Chains A and B, each alone.
Chain A
Amino acid sequence: MPISAIEATAERLARLRQTTEDLLKEAKRRGATAAEASVGSSAGLEVAVRLGEVETVEHTRDNGLGITVYFGHRKGSASSSDLSPSALRDAVKAACVIAEHTQEDPCAHLADASLMATEIPDLDLYHPWQLGVEDAIEIAAACEDAALGLDPRIVNSEGASLSTHTGIQVYGNSHGFVAGYPTSRHGLSCAVIGQQGDSLQRDHWWTSARAPADLESARMVGERAAERTLARLGSRRVATRQAPVLFRAEVATGLMRSLVSAIQGGSIYRRTSFLLEHLGKRIFPEFVRIHEEPLLQRGLSSAPFDGDGVATRPKDLINDGVLQTYLLDTYSACRLRMQTTGNAGGVRNLRIRMGSQDRAALLREMGTGLMVTELMGHGVNPVTGDYSRGAAGFWVEHGEIQHPVEEITIAGNLKRIYAGLLAVGKDCDYSGSTQTGSWLIDRMTIAGQ
């Protein structure tokens, strides 16, 4: 990065820190007993190319501030897209007016001062891409080209798009904690349409990274989009039955995200989780270990401190198949009379310990069953764990793919699905903050013809 760009970033960071401190000062001036503020600014470029022609060129630039004031144990919040001094004063005033009407809540307070992150490690999250519009178009066009050129059955395209964003986020509170850092994120994606007879299928592929060099190549993204589309041609239904199901790696992430929502503090104290009272209990087979790596260098969701200013730390969510922790922020920890786990704002970089089998070995282990590659809809009941979603994928017999499948559902209960996990593959082959190989589940209900 040129020196001037580094200086410009440092200057922007200093300005946003100042705005954060001004918000906290204004809150104090208005009599708040405590306050917390966040201020952010981001800029980016997104280009989309379709059938070789530029479709859109978007320049994005977003600013935002948020303030929460506490008057004892009553709180009020406000936010604005305007960072000007007058907007800042208006926001603090609006938050204070709201706090006149909220009620005493013993858990409405900042995290303890002793928990504030004292060191802010550099997680290598900032790799801006000095990319002109023409260069961006060229990369997106090359990506789509690779997809369109792979096979004559690729007949149409929804295009390829490239995006690059940088941003700075600062958080501060009235303990005197103020910290922020710049981040970058870049992505490339492609979606194409294939035809066989009267039937059309569409699929896509994408890559996302903190640093441009970590992206998959344009050619690889385009070819994978095309390969995925081609594989779906000739899809048909299967008969209703019970069968083993292999969740291919990129959709197995959804099962991990369902675990995360079920062990979030809010779901526990609101009693809306199917994993209530499961802390310390076995919910997966013994070989399963799932851990969070918030301090991963260049990680897509890495962060040195959470949304309450509390230092993040790596930890196991599941070890030996047993639930090790809930995911708590300051508020939910207080409600549950526990300690915050530094998870205000969610979970950061989830990893499962992968097994030794590749995909072919998993298919052989499954024998006859369904490999799921796409899930549709939101049919997960968080309170009961009941699971019912639209699916597409491949029918497998004797470990060999027979034909693509569509217009079916798969159903079960998440507790049963987790307990019935037979193997996790080593075939993690996508970019994302949740990393896993494919999951082989012993049995689910498939509804079809």
Chain B
Amino acid sequence: MNDPIAIARSSILEPAGLADHDLDRLLELLTRSAVDAADIYFQTSRLESWVLEDGIIKEGSFNIEQGAGLRAMSGEKTGFAYSDELRFPALAQAADSARAIARIGQSAQVRIGGVAATRQLYEPTNPIASLHDHDKVALLQRVDAEARGADPRVREVVASVVAVQDTVLVLSDDGSLAADVRPLVRLNVSVVVEEGGRREQGSSGGGARADLTYFLVEDRAAAFAREAVRLAVTNLESAEAPAGTMTVVLGAGWPGVLLHEAIGHGLEGDFNRKGSSAFAGRIGERVAAPGVTVVDDGTLPGRRGSLNMDDEGTLTQQTVLIEDGILRGYMQDKLNARLTGTHSTGNGRRESYAHLPMPRMTNTYMLAGERDPEEIVASVDKGLYAVNFGGGQVDITSGKFVFSASEAYMIENGRVGRPVKGATLIGNGPDVLTRVTMIGNDLKLDQGVGTCGKEGQSVPVGVGQPTLRVDGLTVGGTSA
């Protein structure tokens, strides 16, 4: 069975005894008031995780969550209720609560009808069942052995693997049904190394919308283990990081978290409709150096941030945010698109049925330029080369953003020098990309580990970029 609608019907609606006429009735209840739009989001999500520590499989857990979120919108008002009981009476009560934001009006007759267009960027598989339990155990043991074998200074290894199958069914107010079956796997390894009384930690990992065999090919799991050890050992030798504003060369791939924080959030439709973003009303203006093109693309096959459709049933797309330095567009969900007279860009996402959708990123990255990455490093007399990062944060109103380097080196006379301790970098979103002076030809996407938080909701995302030279980022080290 490969049809998401059929999978969603059999795994969500049928066990709850919900027939099409029940869905008709629920939509009627939800749209009985004078609402502009409404939808019902059904979800069932299964998650399994395994943790290895001290060389043994210490913990395993299985989680199942299911429910439905019912939403009614009138102007800028949204009424929302959800239920983890999927029986009709519980849903009818939720529909009543949700639609109470609008005045009672004409009852709309709705019939469940058309099925929304779909596509397949990933297989609608159940990754939890893709490996036998003893093979999941063996996978983590191999990661442990690889990490411990990589360097005698490794003291502790924690490895975990998580597999999720998320099935969603969106029923829109026009009676159309859309469904998506979303696999997601993630492997993480974290090590502590010690030498001469100094300790450091390193972690690595990756994931995809795929099944668990993803980690068995191309030596991926073992490579994560070696990478975690390499990072930790590198940091054993790190000196104080510099403090002050300087030229920074950012590596390709995960350092694209710069884009996510510096401009991504500021280009989400809700903040721009409300005028609370530093980018509000600036479409058509220059916000980046010539040559800088940034897109948000939910259509990359198998990527962690990709979706066949967003959580409102809209097909995802590639949205150009910045083209050759000029601000071109915002990311929209249905509500903000309706209120600003545009259309959804397939960025309406929610953490679960118990949360309201809002404009969120998918995979956000900068297109490649023409420079050789080595040439970029060689062009810097004195500066910082930052290649690995932790998370970041942004104040979308003032535009100030931070992201924290976890692997960085000094550049002296065009050469990569000694490693320095991790440090937070801070900049101003609306002008940081105008300081991009060189763009590498080595576009890389991250390994599939990103999670973005907004208003308390977490969703998986991707980032990417080529090697970049930025003239003037503030580096928060201790060595002033």
Please indicate the chain A residues that have their CB under 8 angstroms from the CB of B57 in the complex: 101-103
Residue-wise interface mask of B (438-462) relative to A, using a CB-CB cutoff of 8 A (1 in contact, 0 not): 0000000000000000000000000
- Rounded to whole angstroms, the CA-CA distance of A413 and B62 in the bound complex is 39
Identify the stretch in B166-174, B211-219, B239-247, B294-302 within 8 Å (CB) of chain A at 4 or more residues: B239-247
Residue-wise interface mask of A (225-238) relative to B, using a CB-CB cutoff of 8 A (1 in contact, 0 not): 00000001001000
Please indicate the chain B residues that have their CB under 8 angstroms from the CB of A62 in the complex: 84, 354
Q: Does B476 contact A (CB under 8 A)?
A: yes
Q: With A102-B58, A200-B398, A408-B474 given, is the CB distance from A388 to B404 under 8 Å?
A: yes
Please indicate the chain A residues that have their CB under 8 angstroms from the CB of B477 in the complex: 388, 411, 445, 447
Identify the stretch in A11-19, A79-87, A176-184, A280-288 within 8 Å (CB) of chain B at 4 or more residues: A79-87
Q: Decide: A388 and B423 in contact? CB cutoff 8 A.
A: yes
Q: Decide: B404 and A102 in contact? CB cutoff 8 A.
A: no
B94 to chain A, nearest CB (A): 7
A270 closest partner in B (C-beta): B156
Interface residues of B in 454-480 (CB under 8 A from A): 474-480
Q: With A240-B243, A388-B423, A390-B424 given, is the CB distance from A406 to B400 under 8 Å?
A: yes
Identify the stretch in A51-59, A302-310, A424-432 within 8 Å (CB) of chain B at 4 or more residues: A51-59
Please indicate the chain B residues that have their CB under 8 angstroms from the CB of A60 in the complex: 82, 354
- Rounded to whole angstroms, the CA-CA distance of A238 and B76 in the bound complex is 41
Pick the contact of B76 from A53, A78, A377, A389 — CB < 8 Å?
A53
Please indicate the chain B residues that have their CB under 8 angstroms from the CB of A61 in the complex: 81-84
Q: With A56-B80, A78-B61, A407-B400 given, is the CB distance from A202 to B276 under 8 Å?
A: yes
Interface residues of A in 100-157 (CB under 8 A from B): 100-105, 108, 133, 156
A104 to chain B, nearest CB (A): 7
Q: Decide: A59 and B391 in contact? CB cutoff 8 A.
A: no
Pick the contact of A50 from B59, B134, B274, B479 — CB < 8 Å?
B274
Q: Decide: A202 and B395 in contact? CB cutoff 8 A.
A: yes
B77 closest partner in A (C-beta): A54
**A-side interface mostly:** strand
- Rounded to whole angstroms, the CA-CA distance of A80 and B61 in the bound complex is 11
Q: Decide: A410 and B476 in contact? CB cutoff 8 A.
A: yes
Q: Does A367 contact B (CB under 8 A)?
A: no
- Rounded to whole angstroms, the CA-CA distance of A60 and B61 in the bound complex is 26
Please indicate the chain B residues that have their CB under 8 angstroms from the CB of A383 in the complex: 192, 199-201
Identify the stretch in A90-98, A291-299, A313-321, A344-352 within 8 Å (CB) of chain B at 4 or more residues: A90-98
Q: How many residues of A contact B (CB 8 A)?
A: 78
B128 to chain A, nearest CB (A): 10
Q: Decide: A377 and B60 in contact? CB cutoff 8 A.
A: no
Q: How large is the interface on B (under 10, 10 to 19, 20 to 34, 35 or more residues)?
A: 35 or more
Q: Decide: A95 and B62 in contact? CB cutoff 8 A.
A: yes
Q: With A271-B199, A377-B403 given, is the CB distance from A101 to B60 under 8 Å?
A: yes
Q: With A410-B476, A445-B479 given, is the CB distance from A379 to B402 under 8 Å?
A: yes
- Rounded to whole angstroms, the CA-CA distance of A447 and B58 in the bound complex is 43
- Rounded to whole angstroms, the CA-CA distance of A240 and B477 in the bound complex is 10
Q: Decide: B397 and A409 in contact? CB cutoff 8 A.
A: no
Q: With A60-B82, A386-B421 given, is the CB distance from A411 to B400 under 8 Å?
A: no
Interchain Cβ contacts under 8 Å between A and B, 27 examples: A50-B76, A55-B76, A55-B78, A57-B77, A57-B80, A57-B100, A87-B64, A91-B62, A99-B60, A100-B133, A101-B134, A158-B274, A376-B393, A376-B424, A376-B426, A377-B402, A377-B403, A379-B422, A384-B200, A386-B422, A388-B423, A390-B424, A407-B400, A409-B425, A411-B243, A445-B477, A446-B243
Question: Footprint of A on B, CB under 8 Å?
Answer: 50, 53-54, 56-67, 75-85, 94, 97-98, 100-101, 133-134, 136-137, 155-156, 158, 192, 194, 199-201, 241, 243-245, 274-276, 278, 354, 356, 390-393, 395-398, 400-404, 421-428, 474-480
Question: Footprint of B on A, CB under 8 Å?
Answer: 50, 53-63, 75-82, 87, 90-91, 94-95, 97-105, 108, 133, 156, 158, 193, 199-202, 232, 235, 240-242, 270-272, 276, 376-379, 381-384, 386, 388-390, 392, 406-413, 445-449
Ranked 5 nearest A-B pairs via Cβ: A409-B476, A390-B402, A202-B397, A377-B402, A98-B60
20 further A-B contacts with Cβ under 8 Å, apart from A202-B395, A448-B245, are A50-B274, A61-B84, A78-B62, A81-B67, A87-B64, A94-B62, A98-B61, A99-B60, A105-B58, A133-B100, A158-B276, A377-B393, A377-B402, A388-B241, A388-B476, A388-B477, A389-B424, A407-B426, A408-B426, A409-B423
